[in-house]
Amino acid sequence: MKVAYLNGRWVPVEEARIRADDQGFLYGLGVFETVRVAGGRPVFLDRHLERLRNSVPVLGIDPPWTLAEVAAAVREVPSRNGVGDGAIRVTVTAGPAAGGTGAGSWEEGSGPALLVTIRCGRPYPERLYEQGVAAVTASGRRNHLSALCRVKSLNHAESILARREAAARGVLEALFLNVAGELAEGSATNLFVAAGGRLLTPAVACGILPGIARAVVLDLARGRLGLDVEEGRYPPALFERAEEAFLTNALMGVMPLVAVDGRPVGDGRPGPVTLALRRAYEALVAGEGLAADRKSIMEASMADHGVLSMVDDGGVDELDVVS
C-alpha cells in the first residue's frame, strides 16, 4: 500500500485528504515541487527546498512546518513506498480560508497543508534522448509581469492546455513566448539554445520558472564545461541561427530539442553541447546518490556523538562529487 506524508503523519494515499475549503483547491493558492528520485534518493533536494522556501511567501503562505521536516519526509518517502527511480511531489496549499477568500485568516487548528507523495518510474524513455524531441509554439503567452511565473504554483491549467496543444500536434512540448513576444519556456520545461558558440537561455525576467535543472545546467555549463553562457531576451527567430537546442526539467534532465514548429533546429539531431551537458548532468544525478551516502554516514556518526539531532540538508556541493 502506498503511503503519503500529510501534515505530520504517514497515511495510506487514499486517506490523504485535503479539505474541501482549502484555498489550494478553491483558488490554486499553493505551490509544489517535483523532485527526481534516483537510486532511492531525492536528487538536488537542497535546491528544491530553497525554491519552496522562496515560493511560499509569494503566495502569502506562512507554513507551520520547518524545511527540515519537509526534507525528512522527502528522504523517507522512497523507502516507505519501495521506490528506486521515480518522482516525489511536495505540495503545499494555503489551507482553509476562514469565512472568505483572504489568505492568512485561517480557522484555529487549520493552516497550510503539506503533502508528500511519490510516483514510480522514469517518464521519458531513452529513445527520446537519442532522437531528440519536437516542440510547437503555444498559442497562449506567459505574462512575464506576473509573480506567478516565478513560482511553481498550483495554477497549472495554462501549462496543461499548452501541453495538450503539443500532444494534439504530435509533439512533446509547447513553447511559450511572453506577452512581449520573447522566448520564455516550455509548458513544463526551460529552454536552452546553442548559437554562435554560446549557450543562451531566456532570463528569469522573461516570465519563466527558475527551474532546478536549468540552474544545475547553468552551473555545469559555466563551471565544468567552461561555456560562454548568457541569460537574456531572445526573439523566436533565434531558432533560425541555432546550432542546437535542449529542454530541461527536474525529471527529464537534459532533453535534445531537434525541431520547432516543424522546422529542424540546426541539423535536426542532438548536438555535442547538448550531449556533453546531458552526460555531466546525469553524472551529477548519480553523484547525488554518493553525496547522500557520504552525508548519511556523516550524519550517523554525528548523531552517534550527539552532535546532530535534526537531519538537515546542505554542505555538500554537487559539483565536488564528480570533479
List residues near ligand PLP by CB under 6 A.
34, 159, 185, 188-190, 209, 211-214, 248-250
> Whole-number minimum distance, CB 219 to ligand PLP, in Å?
13
> Whole-number minimum distance, CB 293 to ligand PLP, in Å?
24
Nearest-angstrom CA–CA distance, 65 and 68: 8
Nearer to ligand PLP, 94 or 217 (CB): 217
Nearest-angstrom CA–CA distance, 214 and 144: 18
Position closest to ligand PLP via CB:
211
Nearer to ligand PLP, 144 or 214 (CB): 214
Backbone angles phi, psi at 90, to 5 degrees: -105, 120
Nearer to ligand PLP, 2 or 156 (CB): 156
Nearer to ligand PLP, 89 or 269 (CB): 89
> Whole-number minimum distance, CB 159 to ligand PLP, in Å?
5
> Whole-number minimum distance, CB 109 to ligand PLP, in Å?
33
Nearest-angstrom CA–CA distance, 262 and 257: 12
Nearest-angstrom CA–CA distance, 277 and 286: 14
Q: Output the CA–CA distances (angstroms, integers) from residue 228 to 34, 38, 97, 195, 284, in the order listed.
A: 29, 30, 48, 10, 21
Nearest-angstrom CA–CA distance, 271 and 248: 15
> Whole-number minimum distance, CB 70 to ligand PLP, in Å?
16
Q: Are 115 and 255 in contact (CB under 8 A)?
A: no
Nearer to ligand PLP, 17 or 53 (CB): 53
C-alpha cell at 194: 546553442
